[in-house]
Structure 1
Amino acid sequence: MHVTQLEWIITLTVTIAVLLFDVVVIGRRPHEPTTRETAIALSVYVGLAVAFGVFVWFFHGSQFGLEFFAGWLTEYSLSVDNLFIFLIIMASFKVPRIYQQQALLVGIILALIFRGIFIALGAVAIEQFSWVFYIFGAFLLYTAINLVRDTEHDDDADNFVVRFARRHLRTTDRWDGLRLWVKDDSANAARLMTPMFLVIVALGTTDLLFALDSIPAIYGLTQQPYLVFTANVFALMGLRQLYFLLGDLLKRLVYLSQGLAVILFFIGVKLVLHALHENELPFINGGEPVPVPDIPTLVSLGVIIATLAITTVASLYKTRVRDAR
């Protein structure tokens, strides 16, 4: 896939412009968004993602178009799983509803930064070492197995980094928007870390951990850094709106982790097969490629869509039956 420098510049410019717009709007008027507001914004982001996929399809070929849609859907589903942890963090720190938009936006910006770093590192690793696909595949298989075992989400808000900050930094319970510290009212006017500081630390460390899952997953669907980056951007841009639009519905997706486990396991197998197909390790088949099938992108897209659809329907059915009792 040949991406011109102009395409990269336009993509980065539009991304930064959208993020700056969100920062300015939210910074001036922190509030709890209405259902209509979030639905319109989410529709715009999803529409832009679909339009971008169509652009890739017609100007770079159907194969790359399929890779983008498969990657975007995978990253979006993983981002929805992110929302469960975000819900736990917001509840744990009792974040006022009017400040949740600001906290989420900061978390999403941090996620973009972390994923951008991992995308670049992944691209370099793939370019230099073809055997890295073995590592990516094994990691996704391990992650999928852990998702099946951990059917309930643990309270990740109080992780090691947050506990360290609580113990070694002076904190206050006073909220002041996005401000990370405020001055003490005492004579020495010492700076105290606000609850928002701890929330952002929790969101940032959570984003870092999720980036470790999402980047290998999408590199299993496409090896194009441009598509990897844009799929992540479009998935994260609608995450804040999805958080407020779905609300309690997120808690009804009880089989989401199992569905994601199936997707990650499938992509992990795909990565291992691809690694065998491109094998250069001397202790595997004498350093020669292994004649194994390579799973087409169209099949990958079909598996992803079918898994998400079955997961959603089964989750809603189970919670409906449970609530009716």
Structure 2
Amino acid sequence: MEIHSIGSPGLWAGFIAFVLAMLALDLGVFHRKAHVVKVREAAVWSAIWVGISLLFNLGVLWRFGAQPATEFLTGYLIEKSLSVDNIFIFVVIFGAMKIPAIYQHRVLFWGILSALVLRAAMIFAGVALLERFHWLIYVFGAFLVVTGVKLYRDWRKGAEAHPEESRVLGMIRRVLPSTTQLHGPHFFAREGGRWLATPLFMALLLVELTDVVFALDSIPAIFAVTRDPFIVFTSNIFAILGLRSLFFLLAGMVDRFHYLKVGLAGILAFVGLKMALVDVVHVHPFVSLAVIAAMLVASILASFSYAKRHPGAAASAPAEREAREVAAHRGQPVEEA
């Protein structure tokens, strides 16, 4: 199966140069000094990233037409909506690892920088596999449907994520000398003449691990919309670049999105079916965009309605989570590297 792309070598080089320039400005100018990111600052940066993404989409519309532009916007919306689920996990990670708010941006910056590289590799590997083995499209589709069903079942059961208890992190701690003491913004510090990984570095590993796991859902989901590697890559990267500011904007209110996981489960199931039935039913990109947007908006509106009808549930959730994390840590022995 031949893969067609709107991305010329010049477009690829220009986009990558733009991303690197924005990351350099972020770390070297706007966040040179560690500080607590306030909601107002996060809102401004979220608006900036969304605005840049929409301008890019207008450029695609002007240069290449409506279909590639619709595919980009649909892919961006899928990744953006699924990234909100990432934020749920990031909140738990920072709480469980006791990472102060002043250093959370640093962890997210380097975590997302690594995610850009890993996702690029996954996207190009996915494109190569789909080009050579068309039947994988059915495997990806079935995987997304199963993932959507599992996400819905977990929501029904009230299952909670505990990434700090992951077996992978346990294995890393056994082979990588670490300390439970924070050392400012440093990922590694010397204690007793030895270099040890700090909780900041462990949180970084968890953020990267979480993103890889979520990418296994989001990247196949975008392949259900388009096989163009340039559109898949750019929509994915634009959504990720705005993830840090979105985290600080929504971190304090994630428990208010009671029905968001239901919407995400529906989105995954829809794109999975679309992918699995690609040779039977053709779904126009505009229809895909409308269905995904409708599911996302409906889940958000339902969540706001639930929060109004049950004000105590959303308010008590953060306190209950914090109490569980404190109790868990009190029951853990202090590790010696």
Same fold (TM over 0.5): yes
C-alpha contact 1:85 1:153 (8 A) present in aligned 2: no
1:308 to 2:312 alignment: no
1:167 to 2:148 alignment: no
**Superposition deviation, residue 178 in structure 1:** 4.1
C-alpha contact 2:6 2:228 (8 A) present in aligned 1: no
Q: Helix, strand or coil for the counterpart of 2:277?
A: helix
> Matched residues in 2 for 1:313 and 1:136: separation?
30
Q: Which has the higher contact order (CA 8 A, sep 6+)?
A: 2
Task: Give the aligned partner of residue 187 of structure 2.
Answer: 180
Which residue of the other structure, out of 62, 70, 73, is the alignment partner of 1:69? 73
**Superposition deviation, residue 130 in structure 1:** 1.2
**2:65 alignment partner AA:** G
C-alpha contact 1:137 1:268 (8 A) present in aligned 2: yes
Task: Give the aligned partner of residue 318 of structure 1.
Answer: 306
> Matched residues in 2 for 1:305 and 1:36: separation?
26
1:296 to 2:284 alignment: yes
> Matched residues in 1 for 2:15 and 2:254: separation?
31
Q: Helix, strand or coil for the counterpart of 2:293?
A: helix
1:237 to 2:244 alignment: no
Task: Give the aligned partner of residue 92 of structure 1.
Answer: 96
- Superposition pairs of residues 1-325 of structure 1, within 5 angstroms: 1-25=5-29, 28-151=32-155, 152-184=159-191, 186=192, 189-274=193-278, 277=279, 292-323=280-311
Give the RMSD, CA atoms, in angstroms.
Answer: 1.5
Q: Percent identity?
A: 38
C-alpha contact 2:6 2:230 (8 A) present in aligned 1: no
**2:265 alignment partner AA:** A
C-alpha contact 1:26 1:101 (8 A) present in aligned 2: no
Q: Helix, strand or coil for the counterpart of 2:310?
A: helix
Q: TM-score, normalised by structure 1?
A: 0.90
**Superposition deviation, residue 272 in structure 1:** 0.8
For the structure 1 residues 65 and 22, does the alpha-carbon distance in structure 2 shift closer, same or farther, using more than 3 Å as the test? same
Question: After TM superposition, where is structure 1 displaced by more than 6 Å over at least 4 residues in a row?
Answer: none
**2:286 alignment partner AA:** L
Unaligned 5+ segments in structure 1 are 278-291
> Matched residues in 2 for 1:183 and 1:107: separation?
23
Q: Helix, strand or coil for the counterpart of 1:254?
A: coil
Q: TM-score, normalised by structure 2?
A: 0.87
For the structure 1 residues 263 and 251, does the alpha-carbon distance in structure 2 shift closer, same or farther, using more than 3 Å as the test? same
Q: Is the deviation greater in 76-85 or in 105-114?
A: 105-114
Q: CA offsets, 1:96-154, max 9 Å, x none?
A: 11001101112211221221111010110111111110111011011111101111332
Q: CA offsets, 1:159-206, max 9 Å, x none?
A: 11211233343322222344222111x3xx112221112111111111
> Matched residues in 2 for 1:249 and 1:124: separation?
40
Q: Helix, strand or coil for the counterpart of 2:99?
A: coil
C-alpha contact 2:85 2:261 (8 A) present in aligned 1: yes
C-alpha contact 1:114 1:207 (8 A) present in aligned 2: no
C-alpha contact 1:114 1:211 (8 A) present in aligned 2: no
**1:133 alignment partner AA:** I
> Matched residues in 2 for 1:165 and 1:6: separation?
41
C-alpha contact 1:93 1:195 (8 A) present in aligned 2: yes
> Matched residues in 1 for 2:56 and 2:30: separation?
26
**1:312 alignment partner AA:** I
C-alpha contact 2:179 2:199 (8 A) present in aligned 1: yes
**Superposition deviation, residue 310 in structure 1:** 0.5
Unaligned 5+ segments in structure 2 are 314-337
Q: Helix, strand or coil for the counterpart of 2:206?
A: helix
> Matched residues in 2 for 1:203 and 1:35: separation?
21
Q: Is the deviation greater in 94-103 or in 315-324?
A: 315-324
